[in-house]
Amino acid sequence: MGMVFETITLKNAGDVANTERGYISEQEVRKTTVNALVDTGAFTLVISEEVREILGLRIRGTKRVTLANDKREVCTVTEPVEIHWKNRDTTLPAIVSSGWSKILLGALPLEDMDLMVDPVNQKLVGVHGDKIESYIL
């Protein structure tokens, strides 16, 4: 299977919450649209320092991770990021990897948005079709 890239929009979740509370306008929400590598071997969203700065995300701590080449690295963890793909979205912290410029869309956001990789067509598809049910827990 080749590499699968998808266009996603990332938003500062704190800004989105402040918009909902009426503290800032929708135009003030920091966001960016990126071409992300869909990586089912990555556990979460991995962003570059440049994207972290664009979104204005604060650092919440660090996490020790193991890279695909078995190298261990200590990465920073950000405050929550909203991830939007077509009609689906999820919110979670991001990992900032030093020296890595690609955005990785990992297993946790894929699972939460009910997505999987279609290996034949090399694209993301809904696990249960294109319709997604919205629900409140």
Number of domains in the chain: 1
The answer to the question of residue 133 being in a domain is no
The answer to the question of residue 101 being in a domain is yes
pTM assigned to the model: 0.88
The answer to the question of residue 58 being in a domain is yes
pLDDT bucket at 71, cuts 50 / 70 / 90 = confident
Strands 115-118 and 123-126: antiparallel
The answer to the question of residue 134 being in a domain is no
The answer to the question of residue 136 being in a domain is no
Nearest-5° angle of CA 15, CA 17, CA 13? Answer: 55
Residue 1 has pLDDT above 70, yes or no: no
User: Which residues span the domain enclosing 71?
Assistant: 4-126
The answer to the question of residue 118 being in a domain is yes
CB atoms < 10 A from the CB of 33, how many?
A: 10
Question: Which of 5-9, 60-64, 68-72, 73-77 holds the top average pLDDT?
Answer: 5-9
Q: Lowest-pLDDT range, 70-74, 117-121, 130-134?
A: 130-134
The answer to the question of residue 81 being in a domain is yes
pLDDT of residue 93: 97
Burial level of 51, CB count in 10 A (0-12/13-18/19+)?
buried
Residue 113 has pLDDT above 80, yes or no: yes
Residues 6+ away with beta carbon under 8 Å from 99: none
Burial level of 45, CB count in 10 A (0-12/13-18/19+)?
buried
Per residue in 2-26, pLDDT tens?
Answer: 789 999 999 999 999 999 999 999 9
Check which CATH number belongs to the domain holding 99 and give it.
Answer: 2.40.70.10
Residue 136 has pLDDT above 50, yes or no: no
The answer to the question of residue 59 being in a domain is yes
CB atoms < 10 A from the CB of 106, how many?
A: 21
Tokens standing for residue 97: 């990897």
